[in-house]
Structure 1
Amino acid sequence: MFGLIGHLTSLTHAQRVADKLGYPEYADSDLEFWCMAPPQVVDEITVTSITGQKIHGQYVESCFLPEMLAGGRVKAACRKILNAMALAQRRGLSITALGGFSSIIFENFRLDSLRRVRNIDLEVQRFTTGNTHTAYIICQQLQLAAQRYVMDLAAATVAVVGASGDIGSAICQWLAAHTQLGKLLLVARDRQRLEELQANLKQGEICSVEDALPRADFIVWVASMNQGMVLNPQVLRDPCVIIDGGYPKNIASSLQRQGVYVIDGGMVEHSLDIEWNIMQFLNVANPARQLFACFAESMLLEFEGLHTNFSWGRNLITLEKLDLIGQLSRKHGFRPLMPEA
């Protein structure tokens, strides 16, 4: 059985969903209450592959909210993720994906040093970040967007914002190995890690986000948005394709302009309906079939009996793993989500 660890996008969103799920005490409570609330299994899931194979899973709501990362509540945020992982392990889930901020918190705050959760020693082989599948899907979305909007990647400038991160560096590796690009712009806050990436790729130009955006035909955004950051759509090229790989996906609302096309990055659509309820609360157009690629990774691993931390650690995604997860994704009926033409 597989698992998904998720969270909602804000306190307001969480209160609204809690009310619909029948948790009135959560719906009527403030952030302090949510900081203390334990994780809950809120959904049972059944997924059928196009091969005919059927698997079952559970959705674990961590009760983490992004507001906890501000105002001195980082410890509460870390506790949420560890407790959700412990619950998944107690439930006997063989492979569980850490969705949204879950994997970022685990890695950035080095929670691997705190694997003892009450009376449970976390077995990390039971968990995956899902970042390999996310990176693969974003690369496919980039290629499909080039076809859709009749843009030649061989003559295009592609900016990867968040290039030194786990997903960003994997995307850059894949692009360098599988495509001919006009120019690759590497954007991130950590200059040293960007220089290491550039050396490994043997290509790419390091530049700031301010310099990159006006030059890019394609923008792959896989970085967190700095608080107060304002993006000016008027500086973007026409046409310009933006693949928003963040969570929550908020670039489209700030960059609306003719000639700018925003794609929900790292999202997939399954060929068959999935039996679950939770996705109807996560703002997708077709909740029976559309989901985050990181969640789909745990499903793929369950289909294949690969109960291992397939995506784990920082900048450890290889081309071989990208190719393998891509093969499994196609085998079981997942495809990159693209906007309707």
Structure 2
Amino acid sequence: MFGLIGHLTSLEHAQAVAHKLGYPEYGNQGLDFWCSAPPQIIDDITVKSITGQTIQGKYVESCFLPEMLSQKRIKTAIRKILNAMACAQKNNIEITALGGFSSIIFENFNLKQNKQVRGVELDFSHFTTGNTHTAYIICRQVEAASQAIGIDLAQATVAVCGATGDIGSGVCRWLDRKTNVQELLLIARNQERLQNLQNELGRGKILSLEEALPLADIVVWVASMPRGIDIGEIPLKNPCLLIDGGYPKNLDTKIQQPGVHILKGGIVEHSLDIDWKIMEIVEMDSPDRQLFACFAEGMLLEFEKWHTNFSWGRNQITVEKMEKIGAVSIKHGFKPYLLKTGN
């Protein structure tokens, strides 16, 4: 059995979803209540592969909200993720994917030091961030969508915002080795990590966001939005492909410029309907078939019986592992979400 640990995008979103799912005791409460709310298993999932296999899974709502990332509540955020992991393990889930901010909190705050959670000793080998599959899908989206709107990768400049993160560094490695992209622009906050990535790749220009975006034919966004910066005020090329790999995916509300094609990054479409209700809650265009690539990684590991932390640790994503998870993604009927005709 596989598990998915997720969360909602805001307190307002959480309150609305709680009412929709029949939890008025959650929907009528403020942030303090949500800070104390325990994780809940709120969905049973059935997924069929085009190979004929069928697997079962559960969705664990962590009751974490992004508002808990403030300095005042960061300990609450950490506790939420650890409690959700303990909930998955207590329910004998063999491989669980950490979605949204779950994996970011785990890695940024080094939660592997917190193995003991309310009487449960966490076995981290049964958890995956899903970031390898996400990086692979984003790269395939870059390749397909650029061709669809007439951008030649051989002559293109690609800016990766969040280049030193787990997903961002994986994307950079793929673009460097698997495509003939002309120029890579590397954007991140930590200059030492940027320099290390540049040295590893043997290429790439380190630029600020304001310097890089006007030069880019393609922007891969896998970072949190810097405070005080209005990305909508930065002029972009026409045409320009922007892959929104963040969560929530809201760059289309921030950028209204001619010729800018915005694609939801890290989203996959399955060839068959999935029996679940959770994707309706996050308002996917086709909730029976569309999902986050990190969640799909958990499904793929269950299909293959790879009950191991396939994606784990900062900057450990290799091109070889991306190819490996990509092959089984295709095998079981998943494909990248792409620009729709007329975009």
TM-score of the superposed pair, with normalisation by structure 2: 0.98
Is the 2:213–2:234 Cα contact (8 Å) retained in structure 1? no
Runs of 4+ displaced beyond 6 Å? none
**2:296 matched residue in structure 1:** 296
- CA offset digits 1:258-296 (Å, max 9, x no partner): 200000000000000000011101021000000000000
**2:328 matched residue in structure 1:** 328
Structure 2 residue identity aligned to 1:118: R
Which moves more between the two structures, 63-72 or 76-85?
63-72
**2:12 matched residue in structure 1:** 12
Q: Aligned with 1:243: secondary structure?
A: strand
Distance 1:173 1:79 in 2: 33
Q: RMSD value over aligned CA atoms?
A: 0.8
- CA offset digits 1:274-328 (Å, max 9, x no partner): 0001110102100000000000000000000000000000001111100000001
Is the 1:270–1:289 Cα contact (8 Å) retained in structure 2? yes
Is the 2:210–2:234 Cα contact (8 Å) retained in structure 1? no
**1:118 matched residue in structure 2:** 118
Verify: 1:188 aligned to 2:188, yes or no: yes
Q: How many Å apart are 1:339 and its aligned residue?
A: 2.4
Distance 1:228 1:267 in 2: 28
Q: How many Å apart are 1:139 and its aligned residue?
A: 0.2
Structure 2 residue identity aligned to 1:72: K
Pairing of 1:12-51 with structure 2 (within 5 A): 12-51=12-51
Is the 2:137–2:268 Cα contact (8 Å) retained in structure 1? yes
Structure 1 residue identity aligned to 2:340: E
- CA offset digits 1:204-259 (Å, max 9, x no partner): 11110110000000000000112343113561000011000000011110112220
Q: Aligned with 1:51: secondary structure?
A: coil
Distance 1:104 1:282 in 2: 19
Q: How many Å apart are 1:118 and its aligned residue?
A: 1.3
Distance 1:214 1:272 in 2: 40
1:149/1:233 Cα in 2 relative to 1: closer, same or farther (>3 Å)?
farther
Q: How many Å apart are 1:121 and its aligned residue?
A: 0.7
Q: Aligned with 2:307: secondary structure?
A: coil
**2:238 matched residue in structure 1:** 238
Is the 2:232–2:256 Cα contact (8 Å) retained in structure 1? no
- Unpaired stretches in structure 2, ≥5 consecutive residues: none
**1:140 matched residue in structure 2:** 140
Q: Percent identity?
A: 61
Is the 1:240–1:261 Cα contact (8 Å) retained in structure 2? yes
Which moves more between the two structures, 126-135 or 232-241?
232-241
Distance 1:283 1:338 in 2: 17
Aligned residues: 341
Q: Aligned with 1:45: secondary structure?
A: strand
**1:282 matched residue in structure 2:** 282
Structure 1 residue identity aligned to 2:112: D
**2:57 matched residue in structure 1:** 57
Distance 1:149 1:189 in 2: 30
Verify: 1:166 aligned to 2:166, yes or no: yes
Distance 2:116 2:152 in 1: 51
Distance 2:181 2:203 in 1: 10
Distance 2:250 2:58 in 1: 27
Q: Aligned with 1:339: secondary structure?
A: coil
Distance 1:232 1:309 in 2: 38
- Unpaired stretches in structure 1, ≥5 consecutive residues: none
